Amino acid sequence: MDNPKFDANEPVGMFIFKEKDERALVQDLIVNVDPSELLDSRPHGIIAYILFMCLRWADHMNNPRQLQSLLTKSISSIKHVATADHKNSPRQLLANSSGSIKHVATLYNV
């Protein structure tokens, strides 16, 4: 049985995006998402996973400006969603679960 060829330089497990798309990415993943649609979805924590894959891409490209910008926009959006609507507990729960991105920020010293 032949082993599949693997290129060590090929990005694996990363979401490729451009700096100009950061705002739309964060808006769609954090601000505009409807928590009721995600409650039954699998896997749980998909939003944090997608953000992490984007962070991996920025780190892989060795672009600290893009990495810091994405982290800053993500954290600001999470804070905004968590504090904006106190009556909407599913939305706050989603914001808190996406808050694991704050842990990633500490890993990157941002």
Domain count, the chain: 1
The total of other beta-carbon atoms located within 10 Å of residue 58's CB is 24
Choose among 64, 70, 75, 81: nearest CA to 99: 75
Distances (CA, A) of 40 to 44, 45, 62, 78: 8, 11, 36, 21
What pLDDT does residue 102 have?
Answer: 56
Please indicate, yes or no, if residue 57 is contained in any of the structural domains: yes
Please indicate, yes or no, if residue 9 is contained in any of the structural domains: no
Digit-coded pLDDT (tens) for 83-92 = 776 665 555 5
Choose among 9, 11, 107, 10: nearest CA to 67: 107
Please indicate, yes or no, if residue 40 is contained in any of the structural domains: yes
Is the pTM higher than 0.95? The answer reads no
**Residue in the block written with tokens 């009721």:** 36
Please indicate, yes or no, if residue 3 is contained in any of the structural domains: no
- Contact indicator for 48, 97 with CB cutoff of 8 Å: yes
Please indicate, yes or no, if residue 7 is contained in any of the structural domains: no
Digit-coded pLDDT (tens) for 11-31 = 678 888 898 999 999 998 888
Please indicate, yes or no, if residue 36 is contained in any of the structural domains: yes
| Percentage, residues of the chain above pLDDT 90 | 15
How much is the mean pLDDT over the chain? 76
Domain range for 44 is 21-107
Residues of the chain with pLDDT under 50: none
Q: What is the CA radius of gyration of the chain?
A: 16
